[in-house]
Amino acid sequence: MQTDILVIGSGIAGLTYALKVAKDCPDKKVTIFTKTISDETNTKYAQGGIAGVWNKENDSFEKHIEDTLISGDGLCNEGIVEIVVKEGVDRIREIIKWGARFDKEPDGDYALGKEGGHSEFRVLHHKDITGQELERALLEAIKSQPNIEVITHCFVVDIITQHHLGYLVTKSTPDIECFGVYALNLRTKKIDKVLASITLLATGGNGQVYRTTTNPAIATGDGVAMAYRAKGRIENMEFIQFHPTALYEPGLRGQAFLITEAVRGDGGILRNSEGEAFMVRYDERKDLAPRDIVARAIDSEMKKTGTEQVWLDCTHMDKEKFVHHFPNIYDKCLSIGIDITKNMIPVAPAAHYSCGGIKTDEWGRTSINHLYAAGECASTGLHGANRLASNSLLEAMVFAHRAYMDTVKKINNGLNGEWGRWNRQFIPDWRTEGTTAPKEMILITQSLKELQLLMSDYVGIVRTNTRLERAMRRLDLLHEETEELYKATEISPQLCQLRNMITVGYLIVKSAIFRHESRGLHYNTDYPVKSDLLQNIVL
């Protein structure tokens, strides 16, 4: 198969980019691959909203920039922060033009929410299902674009580079070229060679590497693992954000329901098992301190009291207002017997967001030519050591736009040069000889369980050198066993995802081992203080 522009992922980053390129280049074919159904993405589950300087009377670009920098704990790229905050407002206007609806006040102004680390009310939202609304609007908008094709149930396995033409490719190869991907079509069960002039990775996050996560099952870090295998640069993977308040349901493994931080923005209070509002002991911003601080405080309270959860108390909040802003949360709690007007909500931290990822420049370009990355799989420099709440949807739109601008420039300049000199007709088809259908699924499911447990136990909110070293040893074994299985077994999404998640686990642990300090989301009790040396860990 051949296409002009290949987009991997149908979340906010992939859809925004595809829409823009397709509109601007009507003679180019834009193909979107997504591994399950179109809207099953992290985007769909976003609750709180999109941060943007909307009310210039109280708010300003400077304040949003300052809040982002404080949250990032010294590691944000200030130029990138400025770009995202300043350009973000136009991107929000664009998505409104494409049909996204945000809640309004009775006077017609947009209703702005507040979340941890924000000094002002600046979060545009659609009730507590902002992501669902954005995904709906974007999928609707691309329907009217005849040169976009969305192929669902298509699992991308690997990026094609000159390695597949028989050339040696290492991290120090200066001009690694991306020619497209190998993708497993889950309907035909065949692995297709898909050639493209330009490829965008918009594959989202990797929360599934941990035992409990707010992320859906698709969030397995495929893009990061593929880019790493293709010898692309990967940055700051140790900064995994744990959301402080996922709904606690005993024994749950996998996706946990999120209780948005906006609930605390509207007055919700965290309490420990003794009923104490403990955040006052940890930070003067109390329940609205940045996420790393709140998640660590909860972790510490749970460890002190030997519990697996704390409480989010909303019983004092106005019921009508709560139901109006958070209807989905209200209904979910009620469905499991929690009436938020009478009962506190049991919550615990869960893996939520990957601040690092595929290293990109200010145009979304990766270290591999003709390969862009945008959205959660990318590391643009915006988040530093800790992402400010509701900045990721914004970042995804800004970098989808910037990657689109650069793509169009490339197309207009002609795609020849280095890329054109390769004999792409010699790229081989995927080879399946010598592999057999998986006989023992338990080998895959059990390894996944082991991976998630070891990451949660040893590479969670609080880390130590011993735990990280132990995690690395366990990962080595899982890696070895899984590679053997991969070589001998027919490709399946489950096996590929396991392999990708082991790679992502390795990248997180390796980066964490390299960081000899505690900063932002990376807290190692063997190095409790911040180093004077500001460094990004690039693998």
Reduced to 3 states, what is the DSSP secondary structure of residue 471? helix
The partner in contact with residue 8, picked from ligand FAD, ligand SIN, none with C-beta cut-offs of 5 to 8 angstroms by kind, is: ligand FAD
State the nearest-atom distance from the C-beta of 376 to ligand FAD, in Å. Answer: 4
| Contact call for residue 12 and ligand FAD (CB under 6 A) | yes
> Is 361 strand, coil or helix?
coil
Composition of the chain by helix, strand, coil, percent to 5: 40, 20, 40
Dihedral over Cα of 13, 14, 17, 23: its sign: negative
Piece of 268-276, 317-325, 386-394, 446-454 that binds ligand SIN (CB under 6 A)? 386-394
Q: Are the C-beta atoms of residues 262 and 113 closer than 8 Å to each other?
A: yes
Residue 375 binds which entry of ligand SIN, ligand FAD, none, with Cβ cut-offs from 5 to 8 Å by kind?
Answer: ligand FAD
**349 close to 243: Cβ distance less than 8 angstroms:** yes
Q: Is 290 in the site for ligand FAD (CB under 6 A)?
A: no
Residue 164's nearest CA partner among 487, 368, 424 is: 424
158: contact with ligand FAD by CB under 6 A: no
Q: For residue 433, count CB atoms less than 10 angstroms from its CB and return exposed for 0-12, middle for 13-18, buried for 19 or more.
A: exposed
**From candidates 396, 398, 472, 475, binder to ligand FAD by CB under 6 A:** 396
Under 8 Å between Cβ of 331 and 381:
no
Instruction: Show the binding pattern over residues 112-131: x = contacts ligand FAD (CB under 6 A), - = does not.
Output: ------------------xx
- Is 376 one of the binding residues for ligand FAD (CB under 6 A)? yes
Question: Is residue 34 close enough to count as binding ligand FAD by CB under 6 A?
Answer: yes
Residues contacting 341, CB < 8 A, separation 6+: 314, 315, 319, 322
Q: How far is the CB of 412 from ligand SIN (least distance, A)?
A: 35
Per CB under 6 A, does 389 bind ligand SIN? yes
Which stretches of 282-391 are DSSP H helices?
A: 291-305, 319-325, 327-335
Distance (Å, whole) CA 407 – CA 412:
9
Rg of the chain's alpha carbons, rounded to an integer? Answer: 22
Q: Which residues are catalytic?
A: 291
- The listed partner (ligand SIN, ligand FAD, none) that binds 518, CB under 5 to 8 Å by sort, is none
**Encoding tokens for residue 65?**
């920039």
CB of 391 to ligand FAD, least distance (A): 6
Q: Counting contacts by CB under 6 A, is residue 220 touching ligand SIN? A: no
Long-range contacts made by residues 415-421, C-beta under 8 angstroms, separation at least 24? 415/197, 415/198, 415/370, 418/175, 418/177, 418/369, 419/177, 419/197, 419/369, 419/370
For every residue of 151-197, DSSP letters joined together read: E-SEEEEEEE-GGGGT----TT-S--B--EEEEEETTTTEEEEEEEE
Contact stretch for ligand FAD (CB under 6 A) within 106-114, 167-175, 392-400, 444-452: 392-400
Q: Could you say whether residue 459 binds ligand FAD (CB under 6 A)?
A: no
What size, in residues, is the chain? 539
Cβ–Cβ under 8 Å, residues 180 and 193: yes
Among the residue ranges 74-82, 154-162, 228-236, 531-539, the one whose residues contact ligand FAD (CB under 6 A): 154-162
Applying CB under 6 A, what is the total number of residues that bind ligand SIN? 9
Residue of 6, 7, 30, 49 interacting with ligand FAD (CB under 6 A):
49
Among 71, 208, 386, 390, binds ligand FAD (CB under 6 A): 390
Two structure tokens written together for 8: 């991997």
Q: Which is nearer to ligand SIN, 47 or 456 (CB)?
A: 47
156, 178, 317, 344: which one contacts ligand FAD (CB under 6 A)? Answer: 156
Closest-CA residue to 33 (of 203, 173, 189, 207):
203
According to the binding rule CB under 6 A, does residue 35 interact with ligand FAD? Answer: yes
Residue 261 binds which of ligand FAD, ligand SIN, none (CB < 5-8 A, kind-dependent):
ligand SIN
CB of 429 to ligand SIN, least distance (A): 41
Contact between 261 and ligand SIN by CB under 6 A: the answer reads: yes
Residue span binding ligand FAD (CB under 6 A) among the ranges 30-38, 269-277, 317-325, 331-339: 30-38
Q: Does 9 bind ligand FAD (CB under 6 A)?
A: yes
Using the minimum distance from each CB to ligand FAD, give the nearer residue, 373 or 411. Answer: 373
Q: Which of residues 42-101 bind ligand SIN (CB under 6 A)?
A: 47-48
Q: How far is CA 444 from the centre of its chain?
A: 24
Pick from 201, 237, 236: nearest CA to 222: 201
Under the criterion CB under 6 A, does residue 287 sit at the interface with ligand SIN? no
The mark string for 187-226 relative to ligand FAD (x by CB under 6 A, - otherwise) is ---------------xxxx--------xx--x---x----
Residue closer to ligand FAD (CB basis): 16 or 369: 16
- Interacting residues with ligand SIN (CB under 6 A): 47-48, 260-262, 353, 389-390, 392
- Interacting residues with ligand FAD (CB under 6 A): 8-14, 33-36, 41-43, 45-50, 130-131, 154-156, 202-205, 214-215, 218, 222, 258, 353, 375-377, 390-393, 396
